[in-house]
Amino acid sequence: CQSLPNNFIFQLLGLSIATLSTVTHYGLRFTLISNISLESNSYRVIHYAAFYFGICLSMTLILAALLSSAATVQESQCLTAMGFFCFALAFYGLIPAACWRYTHSTEVEDSMMDVYDFVYEEVRRNASSFRRHELTAIHEAFLCCGKHSPFGDTTDAERKMCPPGQVHAEGQDCLQEIQDFLKKHMDFVSTLVGITIGFTVYGMILTSFLWFSIHFSSNLDRKGKYILR
């Protein structure tokens, strides 16, 4: 019965991952960049892949917790084995995700900034372009305005697209704002992934001990019993 509080932790982790995945997928800033990005840009693929992976992972963790709870109450070896399989499945899904996070640490950041660069340059070349609305939306979402030029010049078109009250000044560079925002978000994701990996390993160990405990207690119960023929 001591494993029941631990199963609540696994359910909480699953709900946290589902919430983070939903916020990331439907959040204003992420959705805006995804809708604007071109097919050649990798951000849209990453955006959808991260959402579906997070939802599948959260469902796997919640299912593993429910199976472990049922196995503890019913002392079922079959349910315990299924719980172990779910924890193992989550673990082997998290390891490649964690490796991708560190081997492609700047890919998401670069793809988001590429989207902004593309829209920004399109507007600078053609002030009447429909991209003006997209650039204005990005400025309002990230509370920034344009990007710093080595020559320090700012065109009239750029000034008109700044959010009300915003000035094209140092500290409000859009590329820097996107980078800072994404760094904070990815740090939080990395922390949650690390915690989840630790708990999935703990879950596999817990279900293993539970399986052996049920197995040996079942064998001991049968000892000394005889059947009259």
| Mean pLDDT of the 131-159 span | 73
Give the number of domains in the chain.
1
Q: Is residue 228 assigned to a domain?
A: no
The per-residue b/e assignment along 106-143, b for 16 or more CB within 10 angstroms, e otherwise, is eebbbbbbbbbebbbeebeeeeeeebbebbbbbbbbbe
What's the first-to-final CA gap in the chain, in angstroms? 39
Q: Which amino acid is at 208?
A: S
Q: Given this model, what pLDDT does residue 213 score? A: 83
Q: Is residue 229 assigned to a domain?
A: no
Q: Is the pLDDT of residue 226 over 50?
A: no
- What confidence category does residue 13 fall into, taking pLDDT thresholds of 50, 70 and 90? very high
Q: Is residue 114 assigned to a domain?
A: yes
Q: Given this model, what pLDDT does residue 157 score? A: 52
Contact between residue 200 and residue 87 where contact means Cβ atoms under 8 Å apart: yes
Q: Rounded to whole angstroms, how far apart are CA atoms 124 and 47?
A: 27
Find the domain containing 198 and state its range: 2-147+155-220
Instruction: Return mean pLDDT, the chain.
Output: 83
Q: Is residue 225 assigned to a domain?
A: no
Q: Is residue 71 assigned to a domain?
A: yes
Contact between residue 174 and residue 148 where contact means Cβ atoms under 8 Å apart: no
Q: Is the pLDDT of residue 33 over 60?
A: yes
Q: Given this model, what pLDDT does residue 224 score? A: 47
Q: Is residue 133 assigned to a domain?
A: yes
pLDDT tens digit sequence for 52-110: 999 999 999 999 999 988 888 887 888 889 999 999 999 999 999 999 988 887 889 99
Q: Is the pLDDT of residue 121 over 70?
A: yes
pTM for the full model?
0.82
Q: Is the pLDDT of residue 184 over 70?
A: yes
Q: Given this model, what pLDDT does residue 179 score? A: 92
